[in-house]
Amino acid sequence: MAEGADGEESGCDVQTFDVIVLGAGAAGMMAAIRAGRRGRRVVVLDHARAPGEKIRISGGGRCNFTNIHAGPKNYLSANPHFARSALARYTPQDFLALVEAHGIAWHEKTLGQLFCDTSAKDIITMLLKEMKASGVVLKLGVTVDAVSNGAGGFVVETSEGRMTTESLVVATGGKSIPKMGATGFAYRIAAQFGLEMVEPRPGLVPLTLDPAMLEELAPMAGVAVDAEVRHGKTGFREAVLVTHRGLSGPSILQISSYWREGDEIAVRVLPEIDLADVLKAAKRDNGRQAVQTVLAQHLPKRLAQYFAEKHRLERPLADTADKALDALARQMSDWRIKPAGSEGYRTAEVTLGGVDTAGLDQKTMAAKSVPGLYFIGECVDVTGWLGGYNFQWAWASGHAAGENA
Ligand code: FDA
């Protein structure tokens, strides 16, 4: 048990715990549940007025709470093997078993993505019930002013007074969506205790375009199309959405985590068809059709018009050389776009980078150089793809720390 040595000496009213968890998000609540189940005296502190706010808004209000295919390959990290251990010891099936034990109805939407049938709030309620059953104390609206450590453990100075603990679990997330209370606080604690950082960056974020390109694409704002989007060797095939600021949609959000400023992305429109063959066959069958008409059989009309006009292919197919059709098909299967930037933390679903995994034990999430200090969830340099992978990391890393803290 931790002793509140400083507080006892000075006669202050010190609250003593075995485990203090900073952050009542997905990772923090899971860690608290597991530690509480082990008989540890646990308190979770959060500056927000409600727990699990990101869970509440996730997955369009239905929380894409895991992905049944989640494995290390679905995560970005300077050490791609780091997540393996925690992910293997707390799997999507483990979380699903918990969801089912609470009678929460769920469904698979696509690509292994599991969602609540009714509301993301069901997941928060489930976690709160589990915390209560594990004897965890939850304190909301509490600010953490300072953290220090000494022989007896950690001292946490809060707006509710001094608290001491043997184990301190940092689960305060990344910098994404500052409007919702994201602070980057975990990075400050990591720096204070001498841990290295991997530069944080917005991830799963819409990409912006320069004014000329925006003007060119403006008539297509709101248009979505199935496409494969590539950056180097990495590619994702889902929808791309043209917006008033640039490009969004699942394919773009996925690739944004790999993209770097100044790089191009390559968009393959209509990845499942050989467009050159389709256009030439249409020319043979009915040469009076316009290119745009054929494209519009496979694409939203405004996009079909855009490509036809951009290539000045406005005459009937019969009057259009095969070479020109080949060039159009080539361009549409390798449409190079150089984003100007991203929408940044304001809309990013996650923060890439964070506490360098080199300083953490992959089995327990404990800092190798500071006994009793743990980092879990989004603040760690492990970032999942879109599709339930980030919550699975939060559950798995939270579970790993909770079993040890
Ligand atoms: P999280 O950010 O959830 O929790 C951190 C907690 O710490 C918060 O409660 C915060 O208030 C608190 N905190 C921060 N600073 C503090 C301080 N200084 N003092 C005290 N408390 C502090 N993922 C997924 O898998 N499926 C999905 O459907 C979605 N959908 C989605 C939608 C949107 C709009 C966003 C922004 C994100 C998603 N995500 C997602 C990503 C997912 O929400 C994210 O990866 C997890 O919430 C991370 O969990 P953590 O517990 O690590 O941090």
* Extended beta strands in 141-233, E state: 144-150, 153-158, 161-170, 197-203, 207-208, 224-231
Question: Which of 142, 172, 256 for a ligand 1 pocket mutation test, highest count of atoms within 8 Å of Cβ?
Answer: 172
- The whole-angstrom separation of Cα 75 and Cα 189 is 24
- Kindly give the distance from the C-alpha atom of residue 246 to the centroid of ligand 1, in angstroms, as a whole number: 25
The answer to whether residue 6 scores a pLDDT higher than 60 is no
> Does residue 91's CB lie within 6 angstroms of at least one atom of ligand 1?
no
Give 181's pLDDT tier (boundaries 50, 70, 90). confident
Atom of ligand 1 nearest to the CA of 28: 51
The answer to whether residue 1 scores a pLDDT higher than 60 is no
> Does residue 175's CB lie within 6 angstroms of at least one atom of ligand 1?
no
- The whole-angstrom separation of Cα 263 and Cα 342 is 12
| Whole-angstrom Cα Rg for the chain | 25
> Does residue 28's CB lie within 6 angstroms of at least one atom of ligand 1?
yes
Specify the CATH class of 14-202+347-404 in words.
Answer: alpha beta
Fold topology of 207-342: Elongation Factor Tu (Ef-tu); domain 3 (2.40.30)
Query: Where do we find the tokens 């990075």?
Result: 187
Query: Where do we find the tokens 């203090």?
Result: 20
What is the arithmetic mean of pLDDT over 73-82?
98
- The whole-angstrom separation of Cα 316 and Cα 324 is 12
The pLDDT of residue 12 is 58
The answer to whether residue 169 scores a pLDDT higher than 90 is yes
Domain boundaries, the chain: 14-202+347-404, 207-342
φ, ψ dihedrals at 252, nearest 5°: -70, -45
Question: What pLDDT digit, counting tens, does each position of 20-35 carry?
Answer: 999 999 999 999 999 9
